[in-house]
Amino acid sequence: MTFDNKDFDLLRKDLEHASHAPGYIYSSPEVLKREIEEYFMRDWLYVGRVEEIPNPGDYLAMRIVDEPILLARAADGTIGAFYNMCLHRGVEIAQGSGNTRTFKCPYHGWAYDLKGNLRGAAHMEDAAGFTPRNCKLREVRFDTWKGNMFVSFAKEGPGLLEQIGALDQDFAFLQMENCRLGNKVVMELGCNWKLVHENVMDFYHVPVLHAKTLGTYFEWKDEDVKLNANGGMSIWYENGTQTPDGKTLFARMPWLKDRDPTFACTGFMPPNFSLFGRIDNARVVVAWPISESRSLVIFYQLFPEEVFAMPDFTERLEVYREYSKVVIGEDQSMIESMQKAMGSRNFVPGRMCTQEKPLHHFLNGYARRIFPIHEERA
């Protein structure tokens, strides 16, 4: 399939005259390959919360954009990130999560410590020049921000703080480092990964699709949308928390005690990191491409440390979880319907509404990276 930069001419116009992007950016395997190389192999990527591996020996194994990685907390408390591939034949040395002193390859038994050092390789003593103590799992760049873990597959380049600087400036006050993970929801959706993030920055649909749920308490102003570099953004607005009546079942987060009960904010950092703040909790949403038309979406909901001691914390948390499922279900039906249109030969991108300022900004940042014109390449 061939792509023409002219397909993005209407998208590149100012918002009042712009149209949406061509459908193939959501339905083409070739486009996904570009995205993986340009976005996911270069940028810092969110992989979870530090409290998911709180103790020495704790580990978390996962695949992101089909790359196997392993996060492990060593005896000294430090966290390291490695490619989850044995140095011998590449077999994954860990699955899922757990606690261990040693990672052992299930195929030939090569053993590694929590810092990735090779500690044993049976019957390799006759291999000329092979010295286990000089071998170590390949490391993946790793850093944390406010209790959130990130990796980068790029061997060098900007640090995490340089990439996340705008969100650090705008949302450090949420103090996610003083929160703990309450809810973690993992689900697979039948849509392109971009549509997940576009949906949560699309305020145009909220009063319509969510008229009986979160749209009841929703209000925003165009001037409260701050456009950041590379298609990122910070948005402030009014909304209830994730309960049927929009009211908290917990206390306000201590550092937000002076905020209005309707306080709400959203931040986005390319390629796939969205965060949300409410008066009583913070959330992170990431969408990983499984294919051009399927995504793995993970929701992390964070609460201040002190609320976990409430005797009925679990029951209250379940209200948030169930309500979120209702809202997600409303969105799922729409974005999966959109995905079907994106693959149709008869789809023609429609004109943008002036209320789609965040989408316009994101998609233009995306197009500059994935489909740059000559001047942008120079």
pLDDT tens-digit map of 174-208 = 999 999 999 999 999 999 999 999 999 999 999 88
What is the percent of the chain where pLDDT is above 90?
Answer: 88
Cα–Cα distance between 94 and 62 in angstroms, integer? 9
The phi and psi torsions of 273 (rounded to 5 degrees) equal -120, 115
Residue 378 — very low, low, confident or very high, per pLDDT cuts 50/70/90? very low
CATH superfamily for domain 5-39+165-377: Naphthalene 1,2-dioxygenase Alpha Subunit; Chain A, domain 1 (3.90.380.10)
Mean pLDDT value of segment 118-142:
90
pLDDT greater than 80 at residue 350 = yes
Mean pLDDT value of segment 240-254:
93
pLDDT greater than 80 at residue 326 = yes
Count of Cβ atoms closer than 10 Å to residue 281 Cβ: 25
Q: What pLDDT, on the 0 to 100 scale, is given for residue 373?
A: 80
Select the more confidently predicted residue: 74 or 128.
74
Q: What pLDDT, on the 0 to 100 scale, is given for residue 4?
A: 79
Q: What pLDDT, on the 0 to 100 scale, is given for residue 374?
A: 56
Q: What pLDDT, on the 0 to 100 scale, is given for residue 129?
A: 85
**Angle of CA points 119, 125, 129, to nearest 5°:** 90
| Domain boundaries of the chain, sorted by first residue | 5-39+165-377, 45-145
pLDDT greater than 80 at residue 376 = no
And the tokens for 40?
A: 């996911």
Burial class for 50, CB neighbours closer than 10 Å (0-12, 13-18, 19+): middle
Q: What is the mean pLDDT of the chain?
A: 94
- pLDDT tens digit string along 277-289? 999 999 999 999 9
pLDDT greater than 60 at residue 377 = no
> 3-state SS of the chain: helix, strand, coil percent to 5?
35, 30, 40
CATH superfamily for domain 45-145: Rieske [2Fe-2S] iron-sulphur domain (2.102.10.10)
For the entire predicted model, the pTM comes to 0.94
